[in-house]
Amino acid sequence: MVRPRLRLITPVAGLGNDAELCSAVRTYSGELYGFAKRALGDPGHAEDAVQETFIRAWRAGSRFDPELASLRSWLFAILRNVIIDAARARAIRPTVAAMVDRATVDEIDGLLKGLVVEEALRRLTEDHRYAVVQVYYQGRSAADVASELDVPAATVRSRLFYGLKALRLSLDELGWDDV
């Protein structure tokens, strides 16, 4: 049995030139295609959506700022817009079956919001992230977390306060508008 060679994915800096664009296509097109195929339910429409995503990214490449978000998050945000535009275009033409219904758009929106929150959480310090995740996402009390970490409960509450403050700032930087 011949095993296929695994290809290492190298991080992509941006889309400043053709080489970076080609690298971004090689690195992210498969993941974007899988997401678009699940959202649209059609391989042909998914390919079109991914192609349109890279065209838009190439045109707006000078606006990409790696300080604000990863290239992956930025490309997924563009893909989300492409899928929503496709849904709107199909809604205008009632003779063409709509590939994306409202539930699908809401599902996509929820997944992309999850990616944005994940990116914002990555920007927090480890202590702040742990406090926020344990209290808000795991539903634990500050006293529980404090006893686990062997620190005063006030320390956990302080980490929680400053962690949420930093999280809000990160979400603002990432363009989050639902807070």
CB within 8 A of 103, min separation 6: which ones? none
pLDDT given at position 53: 92
Tokens 């202590």 map to which residue? Answer: 127
Query: Whole-angstrom Cα distance, residue 77 to residue 115?
Result: 9
Overall pTM > 0.75: no
pLDDT at position 137 is: 87
Cα–Cα distance for residue pair 41/157, rounded to 1 Å:
45
How crowded is residue 64: how many other Cβ atoms within 10 Å of its Cβ?
19
Residues 6+ apart with CB under 8 A from 163: 124, 125, 127, 128, 129, 131, 132
Domains, the chain, with CATH or none: 13-122 (1.10.1740.10), 123-173 (1.10.10.10)
Give pLDDT, residue 93.
61
Residue 47: burial class (beta carbons within 10 Å; 0-12, 13-18, 19+):
middle
Q: Which two tokens stand for residue 39?
A: 């959202």
- What pLDDT, on the 0 to 100 scale, is given for residue 6? 42
State the first-to-last Cα distance of the chain, in angstroms, to the nearest integer.
52
Q: Which pLDDT belongs to residue 159?
A: 94
From first to last of its 179 residues, the chain has per-residue pLDDT tens of 445 454 444 444 567 677 888 888 899 999 999 999 988 888 888 999 999 999 998 888 878 888 888 889 899 999 999 998 887 877 666 544 445 556 677 777 888 888 888 888 999 999 999 999 999 889 999 999 999 999 999 999 999 999 999 999 988 887 776 64
Sign of CA dihedral 40, 41, 45, 49: positive
Q: What pLDDT score was predicted for residue 97?
A: 44
Q: What is the pLDDT of residue 61?
A: 80
Predicted local confidence at residue 100, as pLDDT: 55
Q: In whole angstroms, what is the distance from residue 138 CA to residue 164 CA? A: 15
